[in-house]
């Protein structure tokens, strides 16, 4: 058959297999041309994309529009992992390009193996599944006729009459020893077994798997059944000249001799740290040393909060993380009324492009009837137009339902008064057992207050609710007021985040008044809500914590709302909370700063210089620095 016809049939068969493999609508790993164009349009102008979920998915995946060496705008992905040599953006391949890409990497380099082919493609392209590379080589007209793949097909064929393990139970004796020094001894004394070598081999494989459970042994038995004169000679032609070779290694050396030839997908050297599987030469037994990596489930998170500029930062951090499934934001009265808190949460979610997150209205008053103030926060962001709606379900009901439907999966972060959680615990005490983890922003450990002489604001607004929560919940993490005040993020870093020209950064910047920004320029930015979300994402951020018993003072004339921490055990009660004492500020800044690196900047936005006038100091306007990247 003509070579061109063979290649056309090969391309047709492989393309059909690719479309069958990648054809599912739920497949988010591979991209079609239509989906790639939709992503590019979303990155160029997010307002033209009606689906907020799709916009968030694009940001979470990290897609970028970059310019290639010839000036073409292409869709690319940033490098992943900690490999210092892998610092270039990878071009995103579509399913229609898979054949040409794999053909260039495999055939033009002399029909190299699947490992070399995969490394070559991985260095330039993204989203090319390795399983398709393996399938391509198996279907390759030249490689499929070699001894390796012909033997593989012969050994994997199903036999009609396989001798059962029971028939050969007395014919084989298997001795189990250490996996590194394993021996199997086979004795054949059955005429029926010796009459058919293939049946014996299949039965032996079953017996070995039965005798050695859990060892994950893959036995490969090669039996030559071809008669003399029937073997097929495979020839490998050079695509650069008319030379023909009978071995792939000779062809590869010949291709390298063409000095002017530069393959579209050049080969890459193997990493020196790459691990190989152990191989038992005596019995052709492979022991896998690396198990398949399990898929990490996304954390399911509920935020319970009132409203503040730093709470908005926490919402942005939680809503922008691809490893967090933000289920709902439960609002409660505190610094502002519960209605203003709900509206402010909707404004933040609109800026994040996350209108899929539910906002639920919670307690309007404390347990003793104290209301939040009617005035909203003074920043410009809090007067923006509201889009979306508040859920009809109450926050307490939503919390009870979500926790009981997903026991042991919900992480709750309370950033305001604890009224909603206290009501939920009184209505359904099982909520305490079904929560995965609880983080509380509030309380104090050194009798320093921010709203009274001895009490912190969240606990002081509803001390009875805080008392109920600490009484019912075990092993909650509490970030006290004094500890958060000692961890100030440098204002220079915050300015670079809040002034990079994106919609989210502009929103967060306008959350503050000029007076608040001037104060933070001197002292640094303190964001306890961001600290709480960061601790939930990465537990190693907490460098030091104490497990103690804590409660809340309810009767003191001057100390009402103060958190009482029994460090020396005078109350003789078991520890119920973890008090955070020290945090890794660098990791927290890295987590919060990564939010803005995941957001694609819009060309239509202009950077606004920030000028902060301080007493006796001239502050130079700070602008976002231009970052240059290398593009493949």
Between CA 554 and CA 563 the distance in angstroms is: 10
* CA separation for the pair 378, 510 (Å, rounded): 10
- 334 Cβ contact list (under 8 Å, min separation 6): 305, 306, 307, 341, 372, 416, 417, 457, 458, 461
Longest dimension (CA), the chain: 104
**If you average pLDDT over each of 46-55, 224-233, 369-378, 475-484, which comes out highest?**
475-484
26-50 pLDDT per residue, tens = 456 788 888 888 888 888 888 888 8
How many angstroms separate the CA atoms of 215 and 205, rounded? 13
pLDDT for 43: 87
Q: Are residues 424 and 396 in contact, defined by beta-carbon separation less than 8 angstroms?
A: yes
Distance of CA 308 to the CA centre of its chain: 28
Q: What is the mean pLDDT of residues 149-178?
A: 43
Contact (CB, 8 A) for 436 and 536: no
* Residue 248 banded pLDDT, cuts 50, 70, 90: low
pLDDT tens digits along 523-570: 888 999 999 999 999 999 999 999 999 999 998 888 999 999 999 889
Specify the residue for token string 């070559």: 120
What ranges make up the beta strands (E) of 484-595?
A: 542-552, 563-566, 577-583
In degrees, to the nearest 5, what angle opens at C-alpha 625 toward C-alphas 607 and 494? Answer: 75
CB of 553 closer than 8 Å to CB of 564: yes
> CB of 109 within 8 A of CB of 121?
no
- On the CB side of 363, CA atoms within 13 Å amount to 25
Q: Give 301-340 pLDDT, tens digit per residue.
A: 999 999 999 999 999 999 988 889 999 999 999 999 999 9
Predicted confidence at residue 331, as pLDDT, reads: 96
pLDDT at 233: 52
Mean pLDDT check: name the lowest of 359-368, 373-382, 594-603.
Answer: 594-603
Crossing angle for the helix pair 338-352 and 309-320, nearest 10 degrees?
Answer: 40
How far lies 58's CA from each of 39, 485, 590, in Å? 7, 36, 21
Give the whole-angstrom CA distance, residue 551 versus residue 558. 16
- State percent of the chain over pLDDT 90: 32
Sign of CA dihedral 107, 111, 115, 116: negative
Residue 50, H or E segment: none
On whether the CB atoms of residues 20 and 98 are closer than 8 A, the answer is: no
CA angle in degrees (0–180, nearest 5) for 411-444-332: 50
More confident residue, 318 or 163: 318
The backbone region for 129, taken as left when phi is positive above 0, alpha when psi lies in -120 to 50, beta otherwise, is beta
Strand residues in 381-452 grouped as ranges (E) = 410-414, 437-441
Q: Which long-range contacts (CB under 8 A, 24 or more apart) does 143-148 make?
A: 143/111, 143/248, 145/232, 145/234, 146/234, 146/248
List the structure tokens of 14: 């492989």
- What is the per-residue pLDDT for 403? 93
List, in order, residues 6 or more apart from 186 with CB less than 8 Å away: 171, 172, 173, 204
Model pLDDT, residue 258: 66
DSSP, res 67: E
CA distances (Å), origin 150, targets 153, 164, 229, 332: 5, 26, 16, 69
For residue 35, how many C-alpha atoms fall within 13 Å in the half-sphere facing its CB? 20
What confidence tier does 359 reach under pLDDT thresholds 50, 70, 90?
very high
- Which phi and psi (to 5°) does residue 325 adopt? -100, 95
Q: Which residues pair with 548 in a beta bridge?
A: 577
Tokens of 431: 């909520």
Q: How do residues 181-222 score in pLDDT, each as one tens digit? A: 434 433 444 444 444 555 555 555 555 555 444 443 333 333
**In whole angstroms, what is the distance from residue 341 CA to residue 347 CA?**
10
- Fill in the DSSP letter of residue 69: T
């Amino acid at each position: 058959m003509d070579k061109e016809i063979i290649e056309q049939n090969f391309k047709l068969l492989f393309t059909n297999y690719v479309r069958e493999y990648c054809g599912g609508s739920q497949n988010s790993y591979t991209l079609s041309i239509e989906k790639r164009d939709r992503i590019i349009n979303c990155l160029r102008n997010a307002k033209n994309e009606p689906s907020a979920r799709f916009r968030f998915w694009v940001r979470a995946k990290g897609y970028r529009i970059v310019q290639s060496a010839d000036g073409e705008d292409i869709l690319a992905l940033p490098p992943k992992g900690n490999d210092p040599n892998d610092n270039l953006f990878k071009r995103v391949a579509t399913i229609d390009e898979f054949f040409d890409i794999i053909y260039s990497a495999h055939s033009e380099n002399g029909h190299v193996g699947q490992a070399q082919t995969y490394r070559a493609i991985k260095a330039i392209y993204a989203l090319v599944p390795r399983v398709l590379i393996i399938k391509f080589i198996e279907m390759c007209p030249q490689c499929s006729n070699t001894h390796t793949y012909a033997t593989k097909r012969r050994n994997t064929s199903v036999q009609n009459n396989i001798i059962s393990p029971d028939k050969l139970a007395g014919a084989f004796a298997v001795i189990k020893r250490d996996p590194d020094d394993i021996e199997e001894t086979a004795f054949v004394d059955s005429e029926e077994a010796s009459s058919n070598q293939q049946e014996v081999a299949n039965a032996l494989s079953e017996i070995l798997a039965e005798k050695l459970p859990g060892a994950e042994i893959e036995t490969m038995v090669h039996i030559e059944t071809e008669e003399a004169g029937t073997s097929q000679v495979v020839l490998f032609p050079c695509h650069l000249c008319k030379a023909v070779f009978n071995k792939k290694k000779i062809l590869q050396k010949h291709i390298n001799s063409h000095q002017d030839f530069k393959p579209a997908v050049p080969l890459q050297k193997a990493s020196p740290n790459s691990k190989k599987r152990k191989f038992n030469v005596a019995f052709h037994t492979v022991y896998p040393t690396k198990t398949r990596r399990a898929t990490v489930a996304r954390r399911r998170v509920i935020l319970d909060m009132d409203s503040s500029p730093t709470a908005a930062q926490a919402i942005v951090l939680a809503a922008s993380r691809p490893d967090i499934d933000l289920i709902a934001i439960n609002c409660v009265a505190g610094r502002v009324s519960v209605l203003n808190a709900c509206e402010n949460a909707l404004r933040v979610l609109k800026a994040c492009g996350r209108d899929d997150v539910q906002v639920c209205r919670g307690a309007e008053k404390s347990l003793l009837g104290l209301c939040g103030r009617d005035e909203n926060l003074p920043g410009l962001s809090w007067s923006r137009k509201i889009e979306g709606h508040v859920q009809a379900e109450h926050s307490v009901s939503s919390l009870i339902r979500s926790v009981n439907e997903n026991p042991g999966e919900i992480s709750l972060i309370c950033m305001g008064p604890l009224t909603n959680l206290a009501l939920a615990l009184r209505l359904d005490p099982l909520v305490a057992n079904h929560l995965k983890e609880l983080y509380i922003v509030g309380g104090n450990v050194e009798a320093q207050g921010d709203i009274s002489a001895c009490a912190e604001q969240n606990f002081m607004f509803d001390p009875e609710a805080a008392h109920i929560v600490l009484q019912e919940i075990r092993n909650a993490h509490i970030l006290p007021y004094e500890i958060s005040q000692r961890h100030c993020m440098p204002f220079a870093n915050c300015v670079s985040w809040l002034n990079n020209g994106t919609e989210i950064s502009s929103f967060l910047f306008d959350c503050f008044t000029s007076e608040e920004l001037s104060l933070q320029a001197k002292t640094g930015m303190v964001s306890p809500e961001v600290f709480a979300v960061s601790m939930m994402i990465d537990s190693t951020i907490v460098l030091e914590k104490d497990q103690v018993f804590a409660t809340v003072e309810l009767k003191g004339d001057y100390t009402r709302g103060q958190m009482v921490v029994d460090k020396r055990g005078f109350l003789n009660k078991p520890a119920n909370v973890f008090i955070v004492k020290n945090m890794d500020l660098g990791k927290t800044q890295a987590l919060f700063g990564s939010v803005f690196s995941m957001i694609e900047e819009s060309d239509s936005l202009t950077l606004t210089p920030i000028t902060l006038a301080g007493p006796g100091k001239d502050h130079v306007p700070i602008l976002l620095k231009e970052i240059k990247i290398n593009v493949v």
